[in-house]
């Protein structure tokens, strides 16, 4: 990064805050999926490095950490790393997890959880994280991580019962359409929607608009990615708009990834970013991106990128 970028405030609070259920979080959070290394990596990431990243994230003001029991690779588990690095948890930290999908010890996805199986999944996250309850539990819908059995409403109803039993604080949904979000809202309050969304993947603009209208947090995953729609992160990349992004990045002394992240945060006050990394330098670059303020002209240039294809 250039000297100009080094002058940006290095604090998660620079991106502002949002209410996630009954908790206030900084809009710039942390996604734990990459802590262990991705499934295609030849070996798990270094354990000490992952713990250092988590502790540094909290030092920089990150208080929204997204994880899942099925985030593991070899002998590394994101939940265990979080518990090791951060216990005893600061009272401001909000932990969110996902249920529905499950993986075998060999890493293969197993049949999707039925509504009555969600309790065991929530309890598994509670044990691994070392907490009495999980602050937010997202139902990760969609067949890409296992074929669902039963309706979304049935699953949300089961999570509502677990909330009433004190196992979780609030309910979110992930990988849903606008129609499915409305279905979920008919069963219980929904505090966040976690969908794949980025500068070049905007199929969920209508879902984002719906969350903004309803005061629900919209939490993009792979927000900095430029991957071809449907491709795994780290796979083929869509170079659409690369020159425009690079030009905006140069004007801010930033990286193209930082501009993609900043653009995401500019999509609305209810947008929460959860970029993940196992690298300290990348973590600090992500945090610094929260302080980038894009001009109206820059936003117009970036907004036009998805319409080129």
Q: Which own/partner contact pairs does 276-279 have at CB distance under 8 Å and 24+ positions apart?
A: 276/30, 276/31, 276/32, 276/33, 276/34, 276/35, 277/34, 277/53, 278/34, 278/35, 278/36, 278/37, 278/45, 278/46, 278/49, 278/50, 278/53, 279/49, 279/53
Name the residue among 84, 186, 93, 101 with its Cα closest to residue 134: 93
71 is an active site residue: yes
> What are the φ and ψ backbone dihedral angles of 172, each rounded to 5 degrees?
-130, 175
User: Which of the residues 71, 89, 112, 197 is marked catalytic?
Assistant: 71
Tokens 């265990």 identify what position? 80
For the record, the structure tokens of 129 come out as: 């994280």
Helices (H), the chain: 3-6, 47-59, 78-86, 118-129, 152-164, 178-185, 205-214, 242-252, 256-265, 280-289, 296-303
The catalytic site residues sit at 71
């Amino acid at each position: 990064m250039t000297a100009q970028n080094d002058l940006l405030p290095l604090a998660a609070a620079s991106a502002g805050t949002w209410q996630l259920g009954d908790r206030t979080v900084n809009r710039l959070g942390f996604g734990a999926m990459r802590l262990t290394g991705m499934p295609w990596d030849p070996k798990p990431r270094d354990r000490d490095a992952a713990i250092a990243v988590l502790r540094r994230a909290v030092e920089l003001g990150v208080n929204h950490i997204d994880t899942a029991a099925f985030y593991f690779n070899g002998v590394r588990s994101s939940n265990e790393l979080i518990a090791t690095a951060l216990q005893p948890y600061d009272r401001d930290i909000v932990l969110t997890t996902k249920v529905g999908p499950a993986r075998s010890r060999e890493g293969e996805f197993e049949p999707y959880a039925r509504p009555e199986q969600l309790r065991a999944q929530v309890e598994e996250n509670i044990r691994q994280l070392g907490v009495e309850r999980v602050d937010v539990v997202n139902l990760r819908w969609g067949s890409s991580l296992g074929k669902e059995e039963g309706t979304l409403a049935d699953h949300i109803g089961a999570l509502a019962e677990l909330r009433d039993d004190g196992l979780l604080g609030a309910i979110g949904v992930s990988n849903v359409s606008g129609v499915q979000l409305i279905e979920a809202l008919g069963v219980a309050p929904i505090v966040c929607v976690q969908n794949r969304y980025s500068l070049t993947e905007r199929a969920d603009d209508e879902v984002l608009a719906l969350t903004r209208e309803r005061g629900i947090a919209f939490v993009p995953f792979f927000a900095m990615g430029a991957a071809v729609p449907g491709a795994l992160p780290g796979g083929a990349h869509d170079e659409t708009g690369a020159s425009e992004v690079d030009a905006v990045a140069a004007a801010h002394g930033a990286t193209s990834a930082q501009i993609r992240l900043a653009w995401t945060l500019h999509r609305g006050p209810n947008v929460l970013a959860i970029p993940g990394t196992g690298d300290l330098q990348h973590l600090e670059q992500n945090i610094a991106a929260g302080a980038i303020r894009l001009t109206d002209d820059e936003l117009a240039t970036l907004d036009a990128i998805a319409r080129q294809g």
